[in-house]
């Protein structure tokens, strides 16, 4: 206690505070991306991400400018940067916590070694079990001879840094490595997920010929461009290069029919898995992707199939971190009030354009005769202007179901259709969209292709479409939901490619 003021210094227990900080919520992919941020900020041209099949260690190394022993110790200090100070625009750090928190979220022992062009190798280590034993913030100085893989990497570059995780207890409980085949396969899938994430987050760096990220299998990481800018059918909308210090570039991506095959189409969703999840804003900070595929909480903006071609590139600078409420994990932002209206306007325009592509994507019959297009569901409004969802009795499949039936049979079918109509869980649907706006399922996204083919063939037989010419058959199928979404399959069936 300070006898002059009566105030007390209450220092936290190092071991307990660190164990608490480990649960801050890093995903593995975000944790490793945070380490790579440091390598980029250090001017690295080559970065290596390595691990072993049994998860004995994870290592991220680079050929950046490296650190002296004093600089290394300072970088391992918790809170080594003031988040309120202005930094170089290429600096991807913020709080001075990322290296430590990201690493210790997954491992109990973090070792960092570094050298500059004019200094020898320095090596320091945070060991959570050691800190618990000594009850102090004691940074260890292990012998480099105990880490030959670190020594080998640093000997191969004129300057650089190695970040080495061991005792990865968040993945590997009660032992130092994975042993069973199932465990190793599971770990390989986690690493594959990380690699996909890195190819998305750093895609604008990977486009630079002077920057290379090497993955655990030795391959060079390939950039995943969320806007498919190299695709001939991608359409950039008018950009806003300087709206109060931010830059916005909306894109309308190609319709599924513009891809050569299903594999190429699925690649357009990347690690986000589906096109519905991949729509929305992509927020960048210094070319580094922070948030991927989100409408950023804009009221009334949900992820639906009809707007899944809308993606918007949004660039902010590292001087705007506090304004955009960038979190310590560098994975989320919140739109400041002063930008909300203009971004909502841009998002609405982009979504409207995406809807137009969905509705009028080059089909002659739909452009010239839009009234001929047949949806499965229609919306009617009563006198109180309340929407009622009805199954479209004019849809060819529904017509074929009723055609040729007796009056008694038609009455039975009508009762079933009315029961379905009157029990549509509209309130549950609305509530679910409000709770999880980013997880709206896409129609038929989980259906196997063989089942869609079977549905198409059954419909062709039920409607006797084989009596029509191939062109008429094609136009008829593509004029009705859901087959309008499967133009290539329709063409393959009609042409005989699919028997």
DSSP string, 337-393: HHHHHHHHHHHHHHHHHHHHHHH-SS-HHHHH-GGG-B-SEEEEE-TT--EEEEE-T
To which H or E segment does residue 125 belong? strand 122-127
Which pLDDT does position 232 carry in this prediction?
A: 87
**Res 470: pLDDT:** 85
Using CA atoms, how far residue 369 sits from 247, 358, 382, 475, in Å, is: 40, 16, 27, 11
DSSP, residue by residue, 230-298: TSTT-EEPPPEEEETTEEEEEEEPPPGGGSSSHHHHHHTTGGG-SHHHH-EEEEEETTEEEEEEE-TT-
| Structure token pair of residue 410 | 């038609």
pLDDT of residue 193: 95
Distances 191 to 30, 194, 196, 290 between C-alpha atoms, Å: 12, 5, 9, 20
**Class assignment of domain 14-214?**
alpha beta
Q: How far apart are CA 94 and CA 452, in angstroms?
A: 49
The per-residue pLDDT for 92 is 44
Alpha-carbon torsion 85, 88, 89, 90, what sign? negative
**How many residues are given for the chain?**
499
pTM: 0.70
DSSP element (H, E) containing 62: strand 57-62
Radius of gyration for the alpha carbons in the chain, expressed in angstroms and rounded: 28
C-alpha 397/C-alpha 418 separation (Å) is 17
Give me the torsion for CA of 483, 484, 488, 493, rounded to 10°. Answer: 40
Nearest to 15 by CA among 142, 164, 175, 127: 127
Angle CA(207)–CA(213)–CA(219) in degrees, nearest 5? 105
Tokens of 406: 């007796």
Write out the H or E segment, with its range, that includes residue 114: strand 109-115
Cα dihedral across residues 439, 441, 445, 447: positive or negative = positive
**Block mean pLDDT (10 aa), the chain, length 499:** 73 88 88 95 97 95 97 86 52 60 94 97 97 95 97 98 94 72 90 96 96 97 96 89 84 88 91 92 94 92 91 91 80 89 94 83 41 72 76 84 87 91 83 60 67 85 85 84 77 79
Contacts of 110 (CB under 8 A, 6+ apart): 100, 103, 104, 125, 126, 127, 163, 164, 165
- CA torsion sign for 491, 492, 493, 496 is positive
Q: Is 188 exposed, middle or buried (0-12, 13-18, 19+ CB in 10 A)?
A: middle
* Secondary structure of residue 70 in the 3-state scheme: helix
Coil vs helix vs strand at 420:
helix
Domain boundaries, the chain: 14-214, 235-364, 371-440, 443-498
């Amino acid at each position: 206690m300070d006898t002059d003021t009566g105030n007390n210094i209450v220092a936290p227990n190092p071991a307990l505070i660190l164990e608490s900080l480990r649960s801050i919520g890093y995903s593995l992919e975000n944790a490793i991306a945070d380490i790579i941020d440091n390598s980029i900020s250090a001017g690295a041209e080559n970065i290596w991400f390595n691990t072993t099949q049994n998860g004995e260690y994870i290592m991220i190394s680079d050929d950046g400018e490296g650190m002296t022993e004093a600089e290394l110790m300072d970088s391992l200090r918790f809170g080594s940067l003031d988040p309120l100070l202005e930094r170089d625009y290429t600096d991807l750090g913020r709080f001075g916590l990322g290296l430590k928190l990201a690493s210790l979220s997954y491992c109990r022992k973090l070792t960092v070694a570094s050298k500059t062009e004019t200094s020898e190798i320095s090596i320091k280590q945070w060991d959570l079990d050691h800190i618990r034993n000594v009850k102090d913030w004691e940074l260890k100085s292990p012998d480099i001879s105990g880490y030959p893989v670190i020594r080998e990497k640093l000997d191969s570059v004129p300057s650089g840094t190695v970040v080495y995780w061991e005792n990865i207890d968040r993945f590997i409980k009660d032992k130092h490595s994975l042993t069973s085949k199932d465990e190793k396969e599971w770990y390989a899938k986690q690493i594959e997920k990380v690699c996909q994430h890195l190819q998305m987050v750093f895609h604008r760096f990977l486009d630079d010929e002077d920057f290379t990220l090497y993955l655990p299998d030795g391959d060079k990481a390939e950039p995943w461009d969320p806007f498919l800018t190299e695709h001939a059918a991608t359409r950039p909308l008018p950009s806003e290069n300087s709206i109060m210090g931010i830059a916005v570039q909306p894109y309308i991506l190609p319709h599924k029919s513009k891809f050569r095959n299903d594999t190429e189409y699925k690649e357009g969703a990347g690690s986000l898995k589906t096109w519905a999840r991949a729509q929305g804003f992509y927020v960048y900070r210094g070319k580094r992707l922070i948030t991927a595929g989100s409408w950023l909480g804009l009221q009334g903006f949900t992820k639906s199939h009809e707007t899944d071609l809308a993606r918007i590139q949004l660039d902010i600078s590292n001087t705007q971190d506090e304004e955009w409420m960038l979190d310590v994990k560098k994975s989320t932002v919140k739109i400041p009030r002063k930008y909300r209206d203009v971004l909502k306007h841009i998002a609405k325009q982009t979504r409207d354009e995406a809807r137009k592509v969905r509705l009028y994507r080059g089909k002659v019959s739909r452009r010239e005769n839009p009234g001929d297009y047949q949806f499965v569901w229609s919306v009617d409004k009563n006198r109180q202007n309340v929407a009622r969802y009805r199954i479209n009795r004019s849809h060819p499949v529904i017509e074929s179901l009723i055609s040729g039936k007796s009056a008694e049979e038609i009455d039975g079918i009508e009762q079933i259709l009315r029961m379905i109509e009157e029990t549509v869980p509209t309130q549950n649907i609305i509530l679910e969209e409000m709770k999880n706006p980013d997880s709206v399922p896409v129609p038929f996204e989980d259906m196997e292709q063989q089942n869609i083919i079977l549905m198409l063939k059954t419909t062709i037989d039920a409607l006797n479409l084989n009596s029509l010419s191939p062109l008429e058959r094609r136009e008829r199928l593509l004029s009705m939901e859901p087959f309008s979404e499967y133009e290539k399959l329709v063409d393959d069936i009609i042409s005989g490619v699919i028997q």
